[in-house]
Amino acid sequence: MKLIDKINKALEDDRCFWSFEYFPPKTQQGVMNLYDRIERMCNLGPLFIDVTWRWGGKSSDLTLELCSNSQTVYGVEANMHMTCTNTNFDLIRSALEKAKDQGVQNILALRGDLPDNSVEFDPEVGEFKYATDLVRYIRKTYGDFFCISVAGYPEGCLGPDDVDCDIRYLKEKQDAGADLIITQLFYDVDNYLAWIDKCRAAGITIPILPGIMPIQNYGGFKRMTDLCRISVPQAIWDRLEPIKDDDQAVKDYGIEVAVDMISRLRDAGVRGFHFYTINLERSTRMVLERLQLVPTVHEVRPLPWSPSLNEKRAGENVRPIFWRNHTRSYIKRTALWDEFPNGRWGDSRSPAYGELVHGEQVRLAAGQAQKKWGAPTTVDDIKRLFVRYCRGSLDSLPWSETALQPESIEIQQRLAQINARGFLTINSQPSCNGVPSSDKVHGWGPSNGFVYKKAYLEFFASPENVKALLARLEGNPTATYYAVTKGGELLTNCQEDSPNAVTWGVFPGKEILQPTIVERVSFLAWKDEAFEFWNAWSSAYARDSASAGLLGRVSDDWYLMNIVENNFQKDSESIFELFDGLGQELADE
């Protein structure tokens, strides 16, 4: 979708909106971390994200990949930067074709830095002199297909003397076909507002989004503002000086500055704000929270998981619960499906999941594994890690890169208890019986609706523990389960292969949406992936070490099991009662 349409809609509704800019990290682990960050930050409801650009096969491919994956996997619209200095028509054309192929429809057209910081354009090398040329080329070649944004320089591209000249260039960019303007970062709000007036006076009518960069640390801030010749009000320097060596204090003050700037801009009628995140999350989050720029549940969560913006998957609205913390893997393993389930999980879905690619879906930084999880040598050591994760004192486990889902916070003590007894949970949801769709924790979907969940637990457990649990489940009319070993030995009380809807919502004027299901075939596909994490973890230790041996044995012998308590009108306690007295307590608990 074109950004300008989303922006015009927001402006029409007189609604504030915001966007986040990221740059492609240099390492594979950095890229993985950025993906997780983008996914989390999507909950802050950005209207779109930007990804910066550097020419060069690997680098520009990564920008495109980040844009395309963010759209497909996290369902957030991406605006891809593209520079034109020292390029030619063929290069640009080829990059735009790739973007089009990948469903990226928004381009921020930039001139880009000249080599060696020279200021001279070399007509021998490049066929584009100014960003305007790139805008014109894109419009000429692709008509209305792309939404084109351009950069604005409230303090002049080359300094304050340049401002009027810059505004003329900006008007030219608009005339060449630009749809909107995103500005350079700035800290002088009065100057910015005056510049806006000048732009409007010069006939610039397209939307202008101010660039906001929360100050992160003193040194970086000083270098950046010097380099870009950005004027910083003396009052800011005065406040920074005494705290310049205290990074946390600087960050906190940076948040204060950004909050103050946005408040003033908002009072002046500005509605859209573009955050230069430098790939950091906290400051941007804090600024938005302080300003109570909190998106409605409806905007952020049309479904309990992020619907893909990939055109092919547009109708998709049902997924198995198993990949909840592994969206990218799910998207990848279903990429070759011809049809995506819409409304129900049925024959419409292709029967086969794509192969699990070793080391890609299942990724652990070996060094980090030892640092985070130590070197477990007993089952109790493993149980302790899971208990700590449930209690929030450990921020990740191989199966969960991030903290417990917010909805599971209400059951975290109960989760910790069963983990202590050897039922190692990797996924869970509490029951939910007709909560308004606007509920901050459980809500999703259109307003005036009601959402529901069946309590769900997924865990690894030893054969003895599974046996004891199965005895207890016998004759239970409302709990259904699947348990499977790495080797594929399946135990279940589900008589049919029909999927079980575990999350659904009822909305005015609509069919029931049932976006999350539990189902045999999917569980068996997920099983391989879930067990693979034991191997990945194990390989962080020397092959003949006690830790590697332990993790390998657990992986070989234990079951992966899920239980659904189908009576969603009971509270979550009833699924946990199944475990009361089972397993063995931790000695030190």
Catalytic residue (one of 21, 155, 532, 565): 21
C-beta closer to its own copies: residue 121 or 507: 507
C-beta closer to its own copies: residue 496 or 544: 496
Tell me the closest approach of the beta carbon of residue 536 to its own copies, in angstroms: 32
CA quadruple 483, 487, 488, 489: dihedral, nearest 10: -60
Tell me the closest approach of the beta carbon of residue 38 to its own copies, in angstroms: 30
Strands (DSSP E) along 60-127, which ranges?
Answer: 78-83, 106-110
Please say whether the beta carbons of 521 and 483 come within 8 A. no
Through-space distance between the first and last CA atoms of the chain, rounded to whole angstroms? 53
The owner of tokens 């999941």 is 353
The owner of tokens 């004891």 is 468
Please say whether the beta carbons of 373 and 385 come within 8 A. yes
Query: Side-chain half-sphere of 99: how many Cα atoms within 13 Å?
Result: 28
C-beta closer to its own copies: residue 400 or 503: 503
Exposed e or buried b per residue across 124-139, where buried means at least 16 C-beta atoms within 10 angstroms of its C-beta: eebbbebbbbbbbbbb
The region, left, alpha or beta by phi > 0 then psi within -120 to 50, assigned to residue 195 is alpha
Q: Smallest Cα–Cα separation from 255: which of 231, 222, 281, 228? A: 281
C-beta closer to its own copies: residue 28 or 448: 448
Q: Read off φ and ψ for residue 229, nearest 5 degrees.
A: 50, 50
Token pair listed for 192: 């910015």
Please say whether the beta carbons of 71 and 104 come within 8 A. yes
C-beta closer to its own copies: residue 378 or 447: 447
Neighbours of 61 (CB within 10 A): 13
Active site residue 21: yes
Q: Smallest Cα–Cα separation from 69: which of 113, 37, 104, 44? A: 104
C-beta closer to its own copies: residue 344 or 388: 344
C-beta closer to its own copies: residue 370 or 478: 478
Q: Smallest Cα–Cα separation from 174: which of 141, 128, 134, 135? A: 135
Tell me the closest approach of the beta carbon of residue 4 to its own copies, in angstroms: 23
Tell me the closest approach of the beta carbon of residue 519 to its own copies, in angstroms: 9
Pairing mode of beta strands 319-320, 424-429: unpaired
C-beta closer to its own copies: residue 123 or 509: 509
Q: Read off φ and ψ for residue 140, nearest 5 degrees.
A: -65, -40
Binding site for its own copies (CB under 8 A): 342-346, 433-434, 447-448, 450, 452, 477-478, 480, 494-496, 498-501, 504, 506-512, 514, 517, 564, 566-569
Tell me the closest approach of the beta carbon of residue 532 to its own copies, in angstroms: 28
Cα–Cα distance measured from residue 568 to residue 503, given in angstroms and rounded to the nearest whole number: 10
Cα–Cα distance measured from residue 95 to residue 35, given in angstroms and rounded to the nearest whole number: 22
Cα–Cα distance measured from residue 162 to residue 142, given in angstroms and rounded to the nearest whole number: 32
Neighbours of 578 (CB within 10 A): 18
User: What are the C-alpha distances in Å from 459 to residues 121, 241, 411, 571?
Assistant: 61, 52, 15, 20
DSSP symbols for 71-127: HHHS---EEEEEE-TT--HHHHHHHHHHHHHTT--EEEEE--PPGGG-----TTT-S
- Which residue type, as a one-letter code, is found at position 505? G
Q: Which residues contact 379 (CB under 8 A, 6 or more apart)?
A: 422, 462, 550, 554
Bridge partners (DSSP) listed for residue 467: none
C-beta closer to its own copies: residue 474 or 544: 474
Q: Read off φ and ψ for residue 518, nearest 5 degrees.
A: -115, 135
User: What are the C-alpha distances in Å from 551 to residues 10, 115, 466, 527, 531?
Assistant: 52, 52, 18, 16, 10
Please say whether the beta carbons of 139 and 148 come within 8 A. yes
C-beta closer to its own copies: residue 242 or 509: 509
C-beta closer to its own copies: residue 57 or 477: 477
Please say whether the beta carbons of 534 and 554 come within 8 A. yes
Catalytic center residues: 21
